[in-house]
């Protein structure tokens, strides 16, 4: 390398470095701004928050506590466990579905109200918008689910090893990402407000009770048991339940399933939002 070539390459590196730093700073600022906007959209609508918290509170404080006294123990995978331990994954999934409903409704209302048109009138990077949208919804779902887990751990005396708690937390994160993605994807598939509202509010209870949530799969009616195999909540509950009762050793196949769902839905949502941004 000659002295002139070395000097030229040094000048290029020197001139490119500030541009790259500026781009990173702009992306960082865009992402933070959109993330704060999403936080306000998801948390300042008290009606949506109340509707998302109420079902989980009813299941946790009334339904599960009463059934735990009535049923006592159940058999799961050849092992006898307390009903409270058995039903906690269903309570967590109930909380996830309720919070994901809020995230999906927020995205749909944004599209129907053409709020994204106003949003794209500002110098905003598409990658920042998509990343913040996915992150904000996932954080809401995860926070509400962890709150339900904390309340359940106070009400019911769980004696799980530390490794099982770690597996349950990992499973909770994966399930939160997956179900937030499913509901956001659902929000991008509808254009009619009435159909979307009915569908998203009916879907959660149907998915929850069509899975082995509050009862072992062997005790379900044959038709419902067959339908449960097509229910994504079934795999979320299996992952959380196996993580809590058996640890990583039994839960990792279900974790892979949830991770695959999360990646697939994330890619589809990003594609849908990107296409929408280009049309605006």
Tell whether 190 is covered by a domain: yes
In the chain, the percentage of residues whose pLDDT exceeds 90 is: 20
Categorize the per-residue pLDDT at 244 as very low, low, confident or very high, splitting at 50, 70 and 90: very high
Nearest by Cα to 243 from 178, 169, 175, 180: 169
Tell whether 126 is covered by a domain: yes
Q: What is the mean pLDDT of the segment spanning 154-162? A: 83
Q: What is the mean pLDDT of the segment spanning 185-195? A: 87
Categorize the per-residue pLDDT at 12 as very low, low, confident or very high, splitting at 50, 70 and 90: very low
* Residue 203 or 10, more confident: 203
DSSP annotation string for 207-241: HHHTSSSSS-GGGS-HHHHHHHTT-HHHHHHHHHH
Check: CB of residue 85 under 8 Å from CB of residue 156: yes
Q: What is the mean pLDDT of the segment spanning 150-171? A: 87
Is 167 a residue whose pLDDT tops 80? yes
Domain count, the chain: 1
In which domain, by residue range, is 166 found?
A: 35-279
Q: Which residue has the tokens 């598939």?
A: 189
Average pLDDT, the chain: 79
Q: What is the mean pLDDT of the segment spanning 137-157? A: 82
For the chain, give percent helix, strand, coil, nearest 5: 85, 5, 15
Q: For residue 117, what pLDDT is reported? A: 60
Tell whether 227 is covered by a domain: yes
Tell whether 149 is covered by a domain: yes
Q: For residue 261, what pLDDT is reported? A: 93
Tell whether 3 is covered by a domain: no
Tell whether 39 is covered by a domain: yes
Q: For residue 170, what pLDDT is reported? A: 94
Check: CB of residue 90 under 8 Å from CB of residue 237: yes
Tell whether 81 is covered by a domain: yes
Q: What is the pLDDT of residues 57-113, one digit of tens each?
A: 666 666 666 766 677 788 888 888 888 888 888 888 888 888 888 888 888 888 777
Q: For residue 216, what pLDDT is reported? A: 86
Q: For residue 215, what pLDDT is reported? A: 85
Tell whether 88 is covered by a domain: yes
- Helices 232-246 and 193-209 meet at what angle, rounded to 10? 40
In the chain, the percentage of residues whose pLDDT exceeds 70 is: 73
* Residue 2 or 139, more confident: 139
Is 122 a residue whose pLDDT tops 80? no
């Amino acid at each position: 390398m000659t002295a002139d070539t070395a000097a030229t390459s040094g000048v290029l590196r020197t001139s490119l470095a500030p541009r790259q730093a500026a781009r990173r700073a702009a992306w960082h600022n865009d992402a933070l701004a959109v993330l704060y906007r999403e936080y306000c959209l998801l948390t300042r609508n008290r009606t949506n928050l109340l509707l998302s918290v109420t079902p989980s509170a009813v299941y946790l404080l009334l339904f599960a506590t009463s059934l735990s006294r009535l049923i006592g123990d159940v058999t799961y995978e050849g092992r006898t466990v307390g009903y409270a331990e058995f039903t906690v994954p269903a309570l967590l999934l109930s909380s996830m579905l309720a919070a994901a409903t809020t995230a999906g409704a927020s995205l749909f209302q944004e599209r129907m109200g053409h709020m994204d048109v106003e949003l794209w009138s500002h110098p905003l990077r598409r990658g920042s918008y998509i990343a913040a949208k996915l992150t904000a919804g996932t954080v809401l779902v995860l926070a509400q689910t962890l709150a339900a887990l904390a309340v359940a751990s106070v009400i019911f005396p769980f004696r799980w090893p530390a490794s099982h708690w770690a597996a349950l937390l990992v499973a909770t994160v994966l399930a939160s990402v997956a179900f937030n993605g499913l509901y956001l994807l659902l929000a991008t598939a509808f254009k009619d407000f009435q159909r979307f509202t009915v569908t998203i509010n009916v879907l959660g209870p149907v998915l929850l009770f069509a899975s082995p949530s509050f009862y072992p799969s062997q005790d379900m009616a044959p038709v419902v048991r067959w339908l449960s195999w097509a229910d994504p909540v079934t795999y979320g509950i299996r992952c959380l339940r196996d993580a809590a009762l058996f640890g990583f050793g039994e839960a990792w196949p279900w974790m892979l399933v949830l991770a695959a769902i999360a990646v697939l839905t994330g890619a589809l949502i990003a594609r849908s939002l990107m296409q929408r941004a280009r049309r605006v």
